[in-house]
Amino acid sequence: MTASSAEWVIRNSVDAAVEEFCARLEQRLTQARAAAGPLAVALTGGSTARAFYSGWAACYRDRRSAVWQPQALEFYWSDERIVPADDPDSNYRLARETLLEPAAIPAALIHRVPTEQPEPAARYADLIRERVPAGAVGRPQFPILILGMGADGHTASLFPHTDILLQDQALVRRAAGTPDHPHDRVTFTPALLNAAREVWFLISGATKADAVLAVYQRQASARQIPALVVDPSQTAVTYFVAGDAAARLPPRPSPR
């Protein structure tokens, strides 16, 4: 399990990283066209995700290929703050404003976390079990699962030095917020993340450079750098790293 078994897409800017992201997503949609029904994708939150979603919405608008149909993808969330759906801190609201509404995605293909319900984590796990077909490991297998990464190495709402990193069989858990990351949350567990066919990390910002290097080297523990719970020997991992977030990586062929 080394960095080399993951793929690193390093670009000088977020725009250039978004361009490659869209090209790969278009490729997956083209490959999936024979399959029945929309491709399930799990979204995340954060400012990097926001930038990627705006570029993603343009793919539908510019109709760069026939695959960009509103019914091509079905949307879930790998983590959500337990706030109302129209709260400014809602990851659902972020995606609705930047991607889902601009791309006119049908409501039937949008499965937000029911944060207004009791036991939202258990309810969401039930919905995912019901709708997302299981993969070889017997857990729901998202074709593409999108994650961000914080400067502390957190991903989804798996924060450093917390017990939620325990490798248990639950698919979705409630996570306590932290002083830096307010609100209690609902998050996918490592078991569900690693059951995905592909995990795509979207990472930007100079403050991430140390955590990016730690993920590249894979020597720290997942308790220190939770993004390390995503295991390239279990799922196909691609790190889209933009700009200064890649500043500490070893020299590589010049990023475009």
Return residues touching ligand 6PG (CB under 6 A). 44-49, 79, 91, 148-150, 154-157, 181, 205
Nearer to ligand 6PG, 191 or 227 (CB): 227
The minimum distance between CB 11 and ligand 6PG, in angstroms, equals 15
Nearer to ligand 6PG, 135 or 177 (CB): 177
The minimum distance between CB 108 and ligand 6PG, in angstroms, equals 24
The minimum distance between CB 133 and ligand 6PG, in angstroms, equals 24
Nearer to ligand 6PG, 205 or 255 (CB): 205
In which residue are the tokens 């080394």 written? 2
**How far apart are the C-alpha atoms of 203 and 201, rounded to whole Å?**
6
Task: HSE, CB side, 13 Å, CA atoms: give it for residue 102.
Answer: 18
The minimum distance between CB 129 and ligand 6PG, in angstroms, equals 22
Helix, strand, coil % in the chain, rounded to nearest 5 = 35, 20, 45
The minimum distance between CB 140 and ligand 6PG, in angstroms, equals 19
The minimum distance between CB 255 and ligand 6PG, in angstroms, equals 19
Q: Cα separations (Å) of 112 from 44, 105, 120, 132, 232?
A: 11, 13, 10, 14, 27
**115 membership: H or E segment, kind and range:** none
**DSSP secondary structure of 136-181:** TTSSB--SEEEE---TTS-BTTB-TT-GGGS--S-SEEEE---SSS
Nearer to ligand 6PG, 24 or 50 (CB): 50
Nearer to ligand 6PG, 181 or 197 (CB): 181
Is residue 50 packed enough to be buried (19+ CB in 10 Å), middle (13-18) or exposed (0-12)? middle
Nearer to ligand 6PG, 38 or 153 (CB): 153
Q: What angle do CA 191, 196, 198 make, to 5 degrees?
A: 135
